[in-house]
DNA sequence: AACAAGACCTGCATGC
DNA sequence: TGCATGCAGGTCTTGT
């Protein structure tokens, strides 16, 4: 489910609730997540104080005093929910519960593609999850030039390249389609051919769609909820994603003649695009 | 090295 | 209604 804007929405809520708090009680209801939780997971967290809550790509990083960083990934169906004590009864697929003062944070993940892990601070940068990640698209150093460098020589499709976390970190199926639409680039185009001004246009499109989505609280299709339980609203602003056969925004052509937005499958994943605007 | 395809796990929408 | 099927926003591994 969650791509960069959804994880960022979660990060902000968790940061507000937990920054400066001490973790008073940690309970793992099941240990067999995608990456099995260590036996001493709870013990290593209890008593630690939260320094800051950060994000890298789609990973949430809870920096603590002491040795470890709590790393979380929401996979496809993961959710973080925040409650005030007394928290309601735990639900099915609530795998981990963390109490901090009068707050309770619960990690719920039906499909168990998500993970929680403890990584020692000094091992974080070199860890396999982080060492080969591409640039943060909302960072100041993510420019057209930087993107062009990373796409150069790639013979795969632009769609597949933008899904690759080593090229740009944090995009997923939804925002890749939306960004290519904003940039007017075909998903089938050879990735390495996007250079110069086109790469600049694409970098700006990626930034603009991510910023707009974060401002809307992310997109709620099935799974994503903000930790407060509120939904996100960006799904109402999709130009192409999930809109096969519908007109794209600002389109003046006759939908009966053009067929509207097209869906195609690339690498087993659906891609949505407007053939007229994304030649 | 780059790339494609399959695996992982569960829930839900769809169609019969 | 019940059942089978296919599909879902991500990442990792394997094989070419």
Please tell me the predicted confidence (pLDDT) of residue A221.
82
Known catalytic membership, residue A262 = no
Which ranges of A95-169 does DSSP label H, i.e. alpha helix? Answer: 144-151, 158-163
Q: Please compute the mean of the pLDDT values over residues A1-27 and round it to a whole number.
A: 94
The larger pLDDT score, comparing residue A112 to residue A44, is at A44
Residues A250, A259: Cα–Cα separation, whole Å: 15
Strand positions, DSSP E, chain A: 23-28, 50-56, 59-64, 68-73, 79-84, 94-100, 103-108, 115-120, 262-266, 269-273
Please tell me the predicted confidence (pLDDT) of residue A268.
84
Residues A70-124 have pLDDT tens digits of 999 999 889 999 999 999 999 889 999 999 999 999 999 988 889 999 999 999 9
The larger pLDDT score, comparing residue A249 to residue A161, is at A161
Q: Residues 153-192, chain A: which have Cβ under 7 A from strand B? A: 153-157, 160-161, 191-192
The set of residues with CB closer than 7 Å to nucleic strand C is A 1-3, 6, 34, 57-58, 73, 75-76, 111, 113, 128-129, 163, 165, 171-174, 219-224, 269-270
Q: Is the pLDDT of residue A258 over 90?
A: no
* Strand B nucleotides, any atom under 7 Å to a protein CB: 2-6, 8-12
Please tell me the predicted confidence (pLDDT) of residue A224.
80
Relative to beta strand A115-120, strand A103-108 is: unpaired
Q: Please compute the mean of the pLDDT values over residues A190-210 and round it to a whole number.
A: 96
Residues A38, A181: Cα–Cα separation, whole Å: 43
Residues A162, A126: Cα–Cα separation, whole Å: 23
Q: Band the pLDDT of A1: cuts 50, 70, 90.
A: low
Percentage of chain A modeled with pLDDT above 90: 77
């Amino acid at each position: 489910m969650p791509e960069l804007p959804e994880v960022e929405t979660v990060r902000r809520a968790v940061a507000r609730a937990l920054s400066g708090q001490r973790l008073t009680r940690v309970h793992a209801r099941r240990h067999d997540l995608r990456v099995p939780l260590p036996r001493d997971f709870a013990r290593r967290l209890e008593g630690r104080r939260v320094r800051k809550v950060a994000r890298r790509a789609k990973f949430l990083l809870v920096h603590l005093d002491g040795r470890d960083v709590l790393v979380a990934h929401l996979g496809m169906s993961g959710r973080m929910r925040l409650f005030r004590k007394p928290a309601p009864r735990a639900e099915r697929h609530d795998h981990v519960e963390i109490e901090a003062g009068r707050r309770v944070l619960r990690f719920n993940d039906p499909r168990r593609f998500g993970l929680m892990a403890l990584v020692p601070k000094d091992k974080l940068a070199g860890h396999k999850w982080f060492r080969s990640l591409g640039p943060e698209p909302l960072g100041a150093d993510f420019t057209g030039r930087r993107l062009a460098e990373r796409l150069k020589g790639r013979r795969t499709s632009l769609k597949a390249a933008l899904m690759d976390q080593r090229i740009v970190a944090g995009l997923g199926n939804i925002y890749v389609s939306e960004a290519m639409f904003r940039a007017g680039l075909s998903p089938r185009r050879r990735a390495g051919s996007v250079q110069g001004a086109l790469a600049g246009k694409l970098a700006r499109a990626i930034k603009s769609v991510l910023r707009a989505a974060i401002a809307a609280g992310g997109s709620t299709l099935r799974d994503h909820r903000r930790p407060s339980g509120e939904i996100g609203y960006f799904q109402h602003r999709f130009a192409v994603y999930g809109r096969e056969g519908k007109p794209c925004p600002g389109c003046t052509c006759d939908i009966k003649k053009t067929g509207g937005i097209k869906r195609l499958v690339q690498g087993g994943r659906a891609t949505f695009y407007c053939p007229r605007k994304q030649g």
